[in-house]
């Protein structure tokens, strides 16, 4: 089943756009039509069957355009399958990934009503030539793992295909067992 998927991204220096483009190509391999747009430029989600929101993490925060996208389109996103990725750590060491994931989780907690079915962290890019002092003194790094990006696209392809999961019905057996007779 072909679905139309929007990958909205917010980037400071372009590396998040590169990951969004790579995700789009990988999702096309899973029979999804994809559009990749800057989050700030998205006005309407009605043409899409699912959404991936991507953000860079910079100085411990998500890009404001990525969060504003989620808030602005909250009512539409409540009915669509949503996946979220962020790029941030300079290395993929467990402590760096955990710190970036905590930053992303704090940001997502500020957006009620949006419940992503998948959330992940990819390694970030640091290009000192694009930064101001004191960050321009840091060593260059690129912690992106393109195999992980393509693997995550495969992981989320099914969730994007079948849409937002229905609410689970209450388990009446467990309620009956707890009700005194």
Looking at residues 40-58, what average pLDDT do you find?
Answer: 94
Average pLDDT in the chain: 83
Domains, the chain: 3-178 (3.40.50.360)
Consecutive H or E run containing 174 = helix 172-178
Tens digit of pLDDT for each residue in 132-148?
566 655 656 666 888 99
Instruction: Tell me the C-alpha distance between 55 and 176, whole Å.
Output: 46
DSSP three-state, residue 172: helix
Q: Which residues pair with 82 in a beta bridge?
A: 51
pLDDT of res. 30? 93
Residue 34 tokens read as: 């994809």
Look at the pTM and tell me if it is higher than 0.85.
Answer: no
Residues 61-93 pLDDT 10s: 899 999 999 999 999 999 999 999 999 877 788
Please give the Cα distance from 181 to 169 (Å, whole number): 23
How many residues would you count in the chain?
Answer: 181
What percent of the chain has pLDDT above 70?
Answer: 78
């Amino acid at each position: 089943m072909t679905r139309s998927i929007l990958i909205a991204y917010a980037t400071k220096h372009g590396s998040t756009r590169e990951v969004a483009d790579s995700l789009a190509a990988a999702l096309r391999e899973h029979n999804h039509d994809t559009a990749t747009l800057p989050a700030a430029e998205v006005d309407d989600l009605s043409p899409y069957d699912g959404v991936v929101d991507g953000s860079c993490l910079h100085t411990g925060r998500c890009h404001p355009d990525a969060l504003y996208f989620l808030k602005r389109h909250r009512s539409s996103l409540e009915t669509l399958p949503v996946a979220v990725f962020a790029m941030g750590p300079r290395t993929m060491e467990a402590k760096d990934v955990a710190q970036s994931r905590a930053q992303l989780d704090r940001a997502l907690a500020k957006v009620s009503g949006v419940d992503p079915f998948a959330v992940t962290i990819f390694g970030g890019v640091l290009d000192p030539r694009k930064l101001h002092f004191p960050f321009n003194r840091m060593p260059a790094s690129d912690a992106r793992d393109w195999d992980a990006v393509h693997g995550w696209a495969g992981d989320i392809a099914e969730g994007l295909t079948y849409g937002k999961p229905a609410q689970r019905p209450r388990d009446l057996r467990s309620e009956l067992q707890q009700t005194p007779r």
